[in-house]
Amino acid sequence: MQTVLQTNFNGIDGLELTQIDKPTLTANGVIVEMDLVPISPTDIKRESNPNATQEALAQLPRTIGYSGTGTVVAVGENRDQALRNRRVLVMHPTGSYSDYLVSENPDWLFPLPDAVDNKSATTLTATPYVLLDAIMNATAHGTDNIVITGANSVIGQYLLQLLAHEADFKAKVWPIVSPSSATYFEQQFPNQAHNTSTTLPQLNRAVIVDIAGSTALIEALLTHIAQPTIVSIALMHYQTTVPFQFVHEEFNAEQYRALIQQLATKQLTAPVGRIFPVTEIKHAQHFVQETHSRGRVLVSFH
């Protein structure tokens, strides 16, 4: 079967699409035939830097990817036999870029309702919930303004949608969108005003929610804010006298179930971008790295 391997730290062009043996079914496992997997910025970072993340995943070779969608084609004797032929979202931290994988952790397998297609489910990440928690904590302590960098990103779009459904959220949201992404953002959020780093008015008591990871952008925004704080998912460290917190997703199965349900009920709309065949994995990753976000870029195994 096909798999995408990282065998070195030479970056995107060091990836290898290769053939390996199909995995063997275990008593506690299910075999998932993969359909779609997301391009992960974290994978791209790891491909050139063994210290790019806090997780110790630098041992090579490794199959890239963390999640994806597919169909259960075989079920071990100790698992629910009703899973056979079900479409699922699967978390697989040891690598998801393969034609088939064995999933043995029931908490990492999410059957999909008919109302949620594979494309939409593949875009999901619980990171917006991490940022939502940080925002709600800040507003509970008197923060009046939420400034979001990377608002047009997948995480940014999900975060804005979650905030719109949060009954207790009263602060003002200031999405920061570059001029080159303004038209796209307006198409996704026609009723949401947005700013650039130069048009943001002077604010007091604001949290910068950093998704973009640009220190230059943060510095520009800080000139507009009195009493700022920063919460970032993109920068683990930032040299500043401003209160700064790095946050990251800690897997929570209930959050993924909630996201799937919100997709099913149309409370959330999935930002799906381009879909590349797995044979074009290098092209797909370069596309993500070199272009502005226009939805989650996916890779297809079919």
pTM for this entry: 0.94
Superfamily, domain 2-124+251-300: Medium-chain alcohol dehydrogenases, catalytic domain (3.90.180.10)
Closest Cα to residue 102, out of 19, 25, 5, 20? Answer: 25
Whole-number Cα distances in Å, 109 to 10, 120, 181, 196, 224: 32, 16, 34, 40, 44
Closest Cα to residue 290, out of 96, 17, 44? Answer: 44
Q: Report CA 112 to chain centroid distance, whole Å.
A: 18
**Torsion 155-157-159-161 (CA) sign:** negative
Topology (CATH level 3) of domain 127-246:
Rossmann fold (3.40.50)
Q: Which residues in the chain land under pLDDT 70?
A: 52-58
pLDDT score, position 294: 95
Q: Residue 146 has what DSSP assignment?
A: E
Show Cβ contacts of residue 175 under 8 Å, excluding neighbours closer than 6 positions. 148, 151, 152, 156, 160, 185, 189, 192, 193, 194, 195
Q: Report CA 47 to chain centroid distance, whole Å.
A: 17
Tell me the pLDDT tens digit for each residue of 113-131.
999 999 999 999 999 999 9
Report d(CA 106, CA 88) in Å as an integer. Answer: 11
pLDDT score, position 28: 98
**How many other C-beta atoms can be found within 10 angstroms of the C-beta atom of residue 19?**
8
pLDDT score, position 49: 84
Side chain identity at 13, as an amino acid letter?
D
Domain spans in the chain, listed from the N-terminal domain onward: 2-124+251-300, 127-246
